[in-house]
């Protein structure tokens, strides 16, 4: 059973490497994510963010290093405690919004029909789709499908949320609403690990890891990462570029 002890990190990764054939995608990653923290992985497409999350979910086996999720090795038995929102949605096109969320709720082990119905309705309400709950997935826009995927990740009230680019395709108002809810979840003890390539998402995180070509080039709080540039008015974008250039200079030195 997954460890729910507050002293055990929600995610504890040490010297993780992963390769697709001869191509090394993750290169010695070490990350600890404390309980109730919003931790962001910030990097361009192809930097290794999605691969890292898939390793945490147990969809891929690490080539080397140590990976613990809620104190356990990643495996399907953690499904009850982990919510996962993939970058590309895996929705059943022929089902309605409600039936999709209900189907995955059952996959998460929610067998009590009454409790499951309440949880499904709440999750759909959180993502603002109550008025579309009876509509088929094929009738929804891309942004709405993103919202259904998030409802699925939230429906069983997991202690750890793994979100891969969850705000892609969302309008600014809905993006802000999502982040309000993420902060409420974290305040209640839910741990959130989110990947993104946008600075707007990064600014909401408690801690950040900057990824470039499979390596962590810096990790700290957003404020400390900005401070490291030595410029009082620096942004997170400035900080990211600072560490990219610093890493390039170290390679060339």
Tens-place pLDDT, residues 57-106: 999 998 899 999 999 999 888 989 999 999 878 899 999 999 999 999 99
Q: Phi and psi for 236 in degrees, rounded to 5?
A: -65, -35
Strand-pair category, 82-85 with 160-164:
parallel
pTM above 0.75, yes or no: yes
Cα–Cα distance between 62 and 73 in angstroms, integer? 11
> Please, which contacts does 70-78 make with residues 24 or more away whose CB atoms are closer than 8 Å?
70/2, 70/3, 70/4, 70/8, 70/10, 70/159, 70/160, 71/2, 71/3, 71/5, 71/8, 71/12, 72/2, 72/3, 77/2, 78/2
Contact 164, 20 (CB under 8 A): no
Strand-pair category, 64-69 with 11-20:
antiparallel
Tens-place pLDDT, residues 212-241: 999 999 999 999 999 999 998 999 999 999
User: Which two three-digit tokens encode residue 68?
Assistant: 């613990």
Domain annotation for the chain: domains and CATH numbers:
1-79+192-253 (3.40.50.300)
Instruction: Give strand ranges (E) for the chain.
Output: 11-20, 23-33, 38-42, 64-69, 82-85, 160-164, 191-196, 207-212, 215-220
Per-residue confidence band for 249, with pLDDT thresholds at 50, 70 and 90: low
Instruction: Give strand ranges (E) for 89-214.
Output: 160-164, 191-196, 207-212
């Amino acid at each position: 059973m997954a460890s729910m002890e507050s002293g055990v990190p929600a995610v504890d990764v040490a010297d993780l490497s992963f390769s697709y054939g001869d191509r090394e995608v993750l290169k010695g990653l070490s990350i600890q994510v404390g309980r109730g923290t919003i931790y962001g992985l910030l990097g361009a497409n192809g930097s290794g963010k999605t691969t890292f999350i898939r390793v945490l979910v147990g969809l891929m086996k690490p080539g080397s290093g140590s990976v613990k999720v809620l104190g356990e090795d990643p495996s399907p038995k953690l499904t009850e405690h982990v919510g996962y929102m993939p970058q590309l949605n895996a929705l059943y096109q022929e089902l309605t919004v409600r039936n999709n969320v209900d189907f995955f709720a059952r996959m998460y082990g929610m067998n009590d029909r009454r409790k499951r119905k309440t949880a499904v309705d709440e999750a759909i309400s959180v993502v603002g789709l109550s008025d579309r709950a009876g509509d088929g997935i094929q009738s929804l826009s891309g942004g709405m499908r993103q919202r259904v995927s998030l409802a699925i990740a939230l429906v069983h009230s997991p202690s750890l949320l793994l979100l891969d680019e969850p705000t892609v395709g969302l309008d600014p108002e809905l993006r802000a609403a999502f982040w309000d809810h993420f902060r409420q979840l974290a305040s209640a003890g839910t741990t959130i690990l989110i990947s993104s390539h946008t600075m707007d998402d990064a600014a909401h995180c408690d801690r950040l890891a900057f990824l470039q070509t499979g390596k962590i080039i810096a990790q700290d709080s957003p404020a400390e990462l900005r401070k490291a540039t030595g410029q009082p008015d620096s942004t997170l974008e400035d900080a990211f570029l600072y560490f990219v250039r610093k890493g390039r200079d170290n390679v060339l030195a």
